[in-house]
Chain A
Amino acid sequence: MGKKFIKKLFVIAFALIFTLGIILTGCGNKNNEQPSTPASQKEQTKKELAQGVTDTTVKVGTTLALTGPVAVIGTPMLHGMQAYFNYINDQGGVNGRKIELIYKDDQFNPAVTVQKTQELVEQDKVFALVGTLGTPGLLASMDYIVQKGIPDVYQGSGSSKFAIPFKKNYFPVQPNYTTEGHVLAQYAVDNLNAKNIVIIYQNDEQGTEGLNAIKEQLEKLGKSDLLKAVVPFNTTDVDFSTPVLKAKEANGDVVILLGTAKPLAGIAVKAKEIGYKPQFLASYVVSDLTMFKLAKDAWNGAIVAGWAYPIYGKTENEPKVKLFLDTIKKYFPNETPSGYHVAGWIAAQTFVEGLKRAGDNLTWDGFIKAMETFKDWNDGLAYKLTYTETDHSPQRAMYFMKAIYKNENEYTYEIITDYIEPK
């Protein structure tokens, strides 16, 4: 009897979830459409507004990985955005409009990203996409977003494809791997006086784009002969003896590391094990404190690129950094502010600045025009953003910081350069 009862319960629960889900997905759509009819009449009498905008709200959407292995990036990034939007809403919003953020979990699966993006645009009818994450999914949904023309502010990806070729509705913010490659090469030659450069790169989109850019810049500087070896590794690798030994054989004094935190930490640890001490120069992708937790003292002395305004060390008490730290603490008291929080924060900040500049002219065109008035905009945690009518390139300047590891509880990055722009 007990089993039968459970079975019945299960069947009912199953049916319930299905219907509930269908109601939420399917009919939620219709509910959204109904209030828009009187609004559209109002639009004609007043000013024309785009979808997702009313007199008191602006709806924006985002897709990120909130479950699965990439959730460690997606979750803090979402919280960074939520913190800033909450902060703005607490002050009464922008021009009387509060911002409502709708987020969808895409599990870092491009097939899902495509679906969720459409859901946001067509069913939730958001005004803009803000702070989306994950290169494969973002590239898969790009054609659709371009065709729709919906503003897309900040892509959590270093691919240069969002800016090149030019797309009117895309506003990338974080520097792409090409820009970064240029800065890394220049810094290695000009500041570190490298004799033998070795590049160890992750065999994926990030690594290969960065690699090509470094080669390009070395050629431009006439220093191609400094590059002694390029060594790839795979995202799934766990043993890094081969790349480290190859770098040592090539006598590399500056080893440029392009990849994600886990493998790069593995490389640093391996190098220390065999007593090889080159100057590591790493991508901004790992400019996060997690590196110290993974590599411990092997990371001491490594130089890492950064692009977002630093939140560690001397800058801690500057007003814009303090605002960030305090706001995160207020809304997410259990979380340590990280680079991913900063990324989300910048995404939200950039969008809100565009919204402020657009005023009541909240059509997609109006918003895009307002974004194109950005000139060396430097009020947020991004550095000197500029968008023009024909160029939406993201931030170009980057700075460098040095890893300082004292013991398990004391480690930090010390900023050692100003912002550097590639020549």
Chain B
Amino acid sequence: MNAKKYISWIVLILIATLIPPILNLPGSLQYLLDLSLIYAIVAIGLNLLMGYAGQISLGHGAFLAVGAYTSAYLTLTLHVPFFIALILSGLITGIVGILLGLPALKLEGNYLAIATLGFGVAVTQIFAIWTSFTGGFSGIKPLKPELFGFKFNSYLSYYYIILILTIVLVILTWNIIRTKVGRSLMAMRDSEIAAKAMGINVSYYKTLAFGLSAFYTGIAGSLYAHLLGFMTPYDYAFSIGMSLNFLAMIVIGGIGTISGSIIGAIIMTWLPQITSNLPIKSLSQIITGAIIIAVVIFYPNGIAYAGARLKDKFEKLFAKHQEKIVVKIEK
């Protein structure tokens, strides 16, 4: 990574840190900001699996549920401190991810999609019946986190927990994709046979990809549980609909990019809420849908590449000018 990119990321982090307190956002918007960053973590995890490892998953809503309920159970029933529960929910969801990754060794493409879809449905139903763990339909109320006596009561203070975790996970992802693991995943994505021929243990990396992706989602699940403060097994965020939403986030933002995951999550969380304030009913859905279609048509690689394409064009334009100037001088 070059210095320029470093600086732009640092500026971005500074903006993310300072903007909310400066703007003094009203509660509902701060909450939306919290939510969009949580979804961004899921999107990064999903992108690691889909964008880098080339495995499809329609069950990430279920992973979110596993993380959320694990964290709720640990903090409420076993009285584990929030930050330890957070890591544990990530790890436990990661293990569930590895278990789901095992059938993935035999399945590909559409078949894998169906298998993960089945997983997504099953988890909701299991959690609905398993009342001793989830509290069933009466729901449970995860508490607001506490650290050394400081209670993260406001959405703003909670935002910083989420922001720090997002940054840590982004750095982690960065390191994963730029080392042997990441290169192996990408090799596997591009051609399984070629990867095998290169001596890459495909089974190992496939399971690992599922485990890692689930780990991210588990962390996000824990954050979601304590942000919302109440959940039932049929919560929309745990549903197939949400799993498809996560997929849409990375497709719109940019498959195989970290920045794309974040952009996609922010757009998919904010856009429907912003458009819902337009005065005409149902217009929100139509506009959201239209924008998604437009993005897919005009930026098939995702919005993350839009900036790069724009820069490309500028450079080309500039180059032409230069050429003209050079020609003139030569004349």
Report B-chain residues with C-beta under 8 Å of the C-beta of A122.
Answer: 26-28
Distance (whole angstroms) from the CB of A264 to the closest CB of chain B? 18
Expressed in whole angstroms, the minimum distance between the Cβ of B248 and any Cβ of chain A is 15
B-facing mask of A132-167, CB < 8 A → 1, else 0?
000010011011000000000000000001000000
B31 touches A114 (CB 8 A): yes
What DSSP secondary structure best describes chain A's contact surface? helix
What are 12 contact pairs spanning A and B, CB under 8 A?
A10-B294, A17-B278, A21-B275, A21-B278, A104-B276, A111-B235, A114-B228, A123-B26, A136-B139, A140-B230, A161-B138, A234-B128
- Residues 182-213 of B, flagged 1 when their CB comes within 8 A of A and 0 if not, give 00000000000000000000000000000000
Q: Across the A-B interface, give the 7 residue pairs with the lowest CB-CB distance, nearest first.
A: A21-B274, A205-B137, A109-B236, A118-B28, A119-B28, A140-B230, A24-B277
CB 8 Å contact bits of A2-22 with B (1 = contact, 0 = none): 000001001000100110111
Q: Does residue B281 face the partner (Cβ distance < 8 Å to A)?
A: yes
Alpha-carbon gap, A208 to B137, bound state (A)? 8
B273 within 8 A of A: yes
Contact B274 A136 (CB under 8 A): no
Chain B residue numbers with a CB within 8 Å of A104 are 276
The CA of A143 and the CA of B291, in the complex, are separated in Å by 35
Name the distance in Å between A358's Cβ and chain B's nearest Cβ: 27
Q: Tell whether A248 is near chain B: CB-to-CB under 8 Å.
A: no
Q: How many residues of B contact A (CB 8 A)?
A: 41
Binding site for A on B (CB under 8 A): 25-29, 31-32, 35, 121, 125, 128-129, 136-139, 141, 224, 228-232, 234-237, 273-278, 281-282, 284-285, 287, 291, 294, 298
Partner of A143, one of B35, B136, B230, B277: B230
Residues of A within 8 Å of B, CB-based: how many? 43
Complex contacts, B236 vs chain A, CB 8 Å: 107-112
Known: A14-B291, A17-B275. 15 other contacts (CB 8 A): A17-B274, A21-B277, A24-B278, A25-B29, A29-B26, A66-B281, A67-B282, A109-B237, A111-B235, A111-B236, A115-B35, A139-B230, A161-B138, A203-B129, A235-B234
- CB-based nearest B residue for A108: B236
User: Do the beta carbons of A17 and B287 come within 8 Å of each other?
Assistant: yes
Given A110-B231, A139-B139, A142-B230: A203 and B128 within 8 A (CB)?
A: yes
Q: Tell me whether A111 and B26 are in contact in the complex, defined as CB-CB below 8 angstroms, given that A17-B275, A136-B235, A203-B129 are known contacts.
A: no
Chain B residues in 8 Å Cβ range of A17: 274-275, 278, 287, 291
Write the nearest CB–CB distance from A177 to chain B, whole angstroms: 11
CB distance from A212 to the nearest CB of B (A): 11
User: Closest approach, in angstroms, between the C-beta of A27 and any C-beta of chain B?
Assistant: 11
Find chain B residues with CB under 8 A from A21 CB.
274-275, 277-278
- Complex CA distance for A7 and B313, rounded to whole angstroms: 14
**Contact with A115, one of B28, B230, B231, B298 (Cβ below 8 angstroms):** B28
Instruction: Report the bound CA distance from A329 to B228 in whole Å.
Output: 40
A116 at the A/B interface (Cβ < 8 Å)?
yes
Complex CA gap A142/B236 in Å reads 18
The distance in angstroms between the C-alpha atoms of A18 and B273, with both chains bound, is: 11
**From A206, which residue of chain B is reached at the shortest CB distance?**
B137
Q: Could you tell me the distance between the alpha carbons of A203 and B140 in the complex, rounded to whole angstroms?
A: 17
> Which B residues are CB-close (under 8 A) to A92?
none
Contact of A136 among B25, B27, B234, B276 (CB under 8 A): B234
Residues of B within 8 A of A10 (CB): 294, 298
> Which residues of chain A are near B273, meaning CB under 8 Å?
25, 112, 115
Q: CA A203 – CA B234 in complex, angstroms? A: 11
* CA of A114 to CA of B136, assembled, Å: 20
Contact B230 A7 (CB under 8 A): no
Residues of chain B within 8 A (CB-CB) of A421 are none
Contacts of B35 in A (CB 8 A): 111, 115
Contacts A111-B237, A118-B31 hold; do A105 and B228 have CB atoms under 8 A apart?
Answer: no
B228 contact set on A, CB distance < 8 A:
110-111, 114, 140
- Of chain A, the residue at the smallest CB distance from B294 is A10
- Closest residue of B by beta carbon distance from A144: B229
A142 cross-chain contacts in B, Cβ below 8 A: 230
Residue from the set A10, A21, A161 with the largest chain B CB neighbour count within 10 Å: A21
A169 to chain B, nearest CB (A): 18
A110 to B231, CA, bound (A): 8
A204 interface residue (CB < 8 Å to B): yes
